[in-house]
Chains A and B, each alone.
Chain A
Amino acid sequence: MNITFLVQNTFNGIMLGGLYALIAVGYTMVYGILRLINFAHGDVMMMGVYFAFYFAVLTKSNVVIAFIVAVLGAALLGFLIDNVAYKPLRNAPRISALITAIGVSFFLESFAVVVFGAIPKPFTSIFKSQTLLMKVLNVGGARIPVLTFLVIGITAVIFVFLFLIVYKTKIGMAMRAISADIPTTSLMGVNVNFVISFTFALGSALAAASGLMWSMRYPNVFPYMGFMPGMKAFIAAVFGGIGSIPGAILGGLLLGLIEIFIPAYFQSMMMYRDALAFIILIVILLVKPSGLLGKKAVEKV
């Protein structure tokens, strides 16, 4: 097929991939520190979006404020989840932490069903004008929503911001130290629990941010909206090398492109799109468990 088709799909892919990357970053951070797949990540994202939606609807306030509130709210939620659900399990086997994470995800979803209602909410209705959301640029026949660039821009900003936190601040150093080895770090008088909680808050804030971007593109807010994107984002994180932030972003973009291109050029694959992501995951895990940019750990005997 023609070049426009290629360009179009490329941008479609980058759009989707950018969103995956955004979510994956939060995943990968928490995993990097705790070695815990935070199953609830996608649901924190969902909660964040609901926060923004209801805040805007109830207080009739500006979207920007709503977004800030949502991000802070999600951060707080993340902090709470960590303190209530995960902290008691720090020394328990990793699996029980994982089960708990599943439980938390389950809880948040049912909570949203009861409190926010199961009927999908139209996210974009909180915007005064839809122009930004609907605006489309025409690039050589290919039509690219302005949102695409916004997503890419924000992903970039967040990446820089994270880079600064992780590599330029004291707490960032602590985070890296912990991800290397918890006991020693705590011996060095670092308040491990605080750093972990901080990471959770940060990760959850990211989840909310990505959720808001996601809902600007896909303005359909419902209690289970977090599940699939969460899964995909996790796959992206593993793909890129879990624990590595650049890895998450690379993985996200690649997954997005794959999910767009494979069905675009092999239409019979269209139905198997979600399966595709999982197959990628399995292959990656078997061929290169450390992911594209991850570093591998050796088992001590």
Chain B
Amino acid sequence: MDRRLSTKTKVILTLLVIIVVAFLLHLADKHMDAYKLRILNLIAIYGIMALSLNLINGITGIFSLGHAGFILIGAYTAALLTLSPEQKEMSFIIQPIVPWLAHLHTNFLFATLAGGLLAAFAAFLVGWPVLRLSGDYLAIASLGFAEVIRVVALNAISITNGPLGLKAIPEYTNVWWAYGWLLVTLLFIGSLVSSSYGRALKAIREDRIAAEEMGINVFKHQLLSFVVGGFFAGVSGSLYAHWLTTIDPRLTTLGPMLTFYILIMIVLGGLGSISGSLIGAALFAILVEWLRNLEEPFKLFGVIQTNGLPKGSRILVISAIFVAIMIFWQRGIMGRNEITWDNLYRWFSRLRRGEKNG
């Protein structure tokens, strides 16, 4: 039997949660040190990246590995729009920046939107051919496109400043922007997934042919999810650029590595679960920094003094966890379940009646 709350209650509860979280963020903003604050913001940025990739990979079942490409586009577009003309002048020491771009300048909001839109457009162009492929071919092809985007950024020196990248990008990304956009992403994708369109996307994931035979234009819907994912990837890129204040097109910055990190997040959280993506993103951002402790001298169980594990052990641990999850715990933390009011309600009412989890 299905136990549901009225939409009204849910809306109220949601608003309450938003207010509470906002208050907590306000406290964090006031009292946390810059380092913790950085990580806090990084969590939100990763969260947006994970959500957008999960919409594509987890919900729609398109296994795309091209996310970094869209993030890169968003990052560069936004950064080039917020950088002051003088700064651009100063940074472009190999080739002067193209004149039409030199004096283009706008505020953070529009820059981010522009980044998102351009990334979405790129997703549209890339999706057109790539979505005609299937399964692992699609994966490699999308990876390839991301690489192509990166190499172009590397060579279009008069626009991107080539390998020198962009520096002195204003550090606009703060708790409010980061979590504001995270909220927007969450509401947008959440609302999409819970709508008839979301059902269609899941149906495509479950059985392409059957979905087609039920009157769903599979290609159009996949492209849709690809473009929406691309847009928010672009947004996250902008936030990332204004968080790091400098970007460049190298393999380790906005390349396949980043895509793999995001993949780790959504697998950790559970492919196909929105709440999972958030959990995964948070875990990843925290783990990577937290595990530094392993590489520094520490007391094991407060007794045995060690010199810490060799540098690089962090990522070894993380990759080990990743593989372990894939093998033993494929559904990740959340599986495909969501933390929704209905589910919580059901869960509580079960508890109340002391039911075993049924």
Contact = CB atoms under 8 A, between A and B. Distances in A.
Contacts of A99: 263, 267, 326
Interface string A266-301: 000001101101110110011001000000000101
Contacts of A277: 144
A41 to B, nearest CB: 13
B147 interface: yes
Interface residues of B, number: 41
A85 B141 contact: no
Contacts of A282: 129-130, 141, 144-145
Given A85-B323, A285-B133, A98 B139 contact: yes
B219 interface: no
Given A100-B327, A114-B313, A234 B140 contact: yes
B154 interface: yes
Nearest to B328: A88
B174 interface: no
A6 interface: no
A274 to B, nearest CB: 6
Contact of B312 (A100, A107, A113, A234): A113
Interface of B is mostly: helix
A103 interface: yes
B135 A94 contact: yes
A92 B312 CA distance: 31
B148 A279 contact: yes
B327 A84 contact: yes
A40 to B, nearest CB: 10
| Interface size class of chain A, counting residues whose CB lies under 8 Å from the partner chain | 35 or more
Interface stretch (B24-32, B116-124, B314-322): B314-322
A127 interface: no
B135 A278 contact: no
Contacts of B318: 110
A235 B137 CA distance: 10
A271 B136 contact: no
B151 A272 contact: yes
Contact of A275 (B130, B139, B152, B309): B152
B348 interface: no
A37 interface: yes
B288 interface: no
A54 interface: no
B215 interface: no
B312 A110 contact: yes
B209 interface: yes
A271 B328 CA distance: 43
B141 A281 contact: yes
Nearest to A36: B136
A63 interface: no
Nearest to B141: A282
B260 interface: yes
B310 interface: yes
A271 B155 contact: yes
A171 interface: no
Contacts of B144: 235, 277-279, 281-282
A107 B323 contact: yes
A89 B326 contact: yes
A96 interface: yes
Given A95-B63, A275-B151, A114 B310 contact: yes
A92 to B, nearest CB: 6
A109 to B, nearest CB: 8
* Residue among A99, A271, A272 with most chain B CB within 10 A: A99
Given A103-B319, A111-B316, A95 B135 contact: yes
Contact of A106 (B143, B154, B313, B319): B319
B91 to A, nearest CB: 20
A162 interface: no
B158 interface: no
A107 B140 CA distance: 20
A192 B352 CA distance: 50
In the A-B complex, the 5 residue pairs with the closest CB atoms = A278-B144, A110-B316, A103-B323, A107-B319, A100-B326
Interface of A: 35-37, 84-85, 88-89, 92, 94-96, 98-100, 102-104, 106-107, 109-111, 113-114, 118, 234-235, 238, 271-272, 274-275, 277-279, 281-282, 285-286, 289, 299, 301
Given A94-B136, A282-B129, 19 more contacts: A88-B327, A88-B328, A89-B327, A95-B61, A95-B63, A95-B135, A95-B136, A96-B330, A98-B139, A100-B323, A103-B322, A103-B326, A106-B260, A106-B322, A113-B312, A113-B316, A114-B312, A238-B140, A271-B154
6 contacts: A35-B136, A89-B327, A275-B148, A282-B141, A282-B144, A289-B137
